[in-house]
Amino acid sequence: MTVIPRRIGQALVTLLGASLIVFGMLTVTPGDPAHRVLAARGITEPTPAAVAAVSDELRLNDPILVRFGGWVSGVVTGDLGVSWRTGRPVADEFVTRLPATLRLAGVAMALAVVLALLLGTIAAAAPGRWPDTVFRAVALGMLAVPSFVFGVIVLDVLVVRAGLGRVIADGSWGTVFLPALTLALAPAANWSRVLRTSLLEAGSAPYLQVCAARGASRRRLLWVHQLPNAAPPFLTLIGLGAAALIGGAPIVESVFTWPGIGRYTIEAIDARDMPVVIGFTLVAVVVYVVASLVIDLACAVLDPRLRADRAAA
């Protein structure tokens, strides 16, 4: 049981280190934040008094440690700052667009897991034969084609020419499949390759020969014995892939005009709206750390050897 507090402590230290890096990005950003905030408010030629007032409002004149403490306390309470472009709180902007991003990431995660299980198990069930070769080639092609290229092809072929789906997605369930599939292909290809390798390694264990001698079918050997032993590395990749899906969402959301946080962040990058960019980076880091912690603990539950190794460490 000492594994859980230790892993939670490591996650908190990681989040603290990430917050230092993110805040450092905010402080070294070129340009005067006060001028950007005033420009977002429609004041293109502000007076020195107006600039000074906004600087006091943003606490830009405080020492850097004081600013960092105030920024951390704000982040803990859900305050990610104010957008320089819109003048609205970044957290409010994210909350408005969060359902669409969660819908896209959730469907993409489900599709990626299904595709990875399909490709990985079929390839591992026939190592060295034509199903293995075909599915490995398919996975390699999925991994080689960038998501934005696949998205443009899907829009051109399926949406524009074939009339399937909509050119402009509205964030609903009816328009989520194509962008989610585009987002899911790369992680599915990577996960399937790791799953195939893990299944083949688990298939060489001596206890499988005993199970086969007792009359277990190939299907039972694969799904009941090999897959649970191959699950920890596969689950680890899925956990890390959760953050990767969030990080990769901006490109796919921009291609499909998906009204989520990712597209909003791309627009903020174009406008050099750093509080939004920093807020998105921090959210992605938190998702990555939390997902890594959950998957690590889940792997320890599934594999007693991991618990024993960590207890000895």
The number of domains in the chain is: 1
> With 50 as the cut, is the pLDDT of residue 1 above it?
no
Q: How far apart are the first and last CA of the chain?
A: 13
Question: 18-25 contacts: CB < 8 A, separation 24 or more?
Answer: 18/282, 18/285, 18/289, 19/72, 19/75, 19/282, 20/68, 22/278, 22/281, 22/282, 22/285, 23/68, 23/71, 23/72, 23/278, 25/274, 25/278, 25/281
Q: Is residue 17 part of a domain?
A: no
Task: Name the average pLDDT for the chain.
Answer: 78
Query: For residue range 98-122, what is the model confidence (pLDDT) as tens digits?
Result: 888 889 988 999 999 999 888 888 8
Euclidean distance between CA atoms 180 and 150, whole angstroms = 12
Q: pLDDT at position 300, please? A: 67
Whether 44 is in a domain gets the answer: no
Q: Does a structural domain hold residue 215?
A: yes
- Residue 38 lies inside a defined structural domain of this protein: no
Residue 155 lies in a domain: yes
**Type of residue found at 285:** V
Q: Residue 230: which domain range? A: 94-312
Residue 306: per-residue pLDDT? 53
Give residue 208's pLDDT. 66
The amino acid present at 1, given as its one-letter code, is M
Q: Is the predicted pLDDT of residue 263 greater than 80, yes or no?
A: yes
Residue 11 lies in a domain: no
Q: With 60 as the cut, is the pLDDT of residue 310 above it?
A: no
In a domain, 53, yes or no: no
Residues with Cβ within 8 Å of residue 185, at least 6 apart in sequence? 112, 115, 142, 145, 147, 150
Look at residue 220 and tell me if it is in a domain: yes
pTM above 0.95, yes or no: no
Question: Which residue in this structure is represented by tokens 């075909």?
Answer: 134
Q: Which amino acid is at 75?
A: V
Domain of residue 138, CATH code? 1.10.3720.10
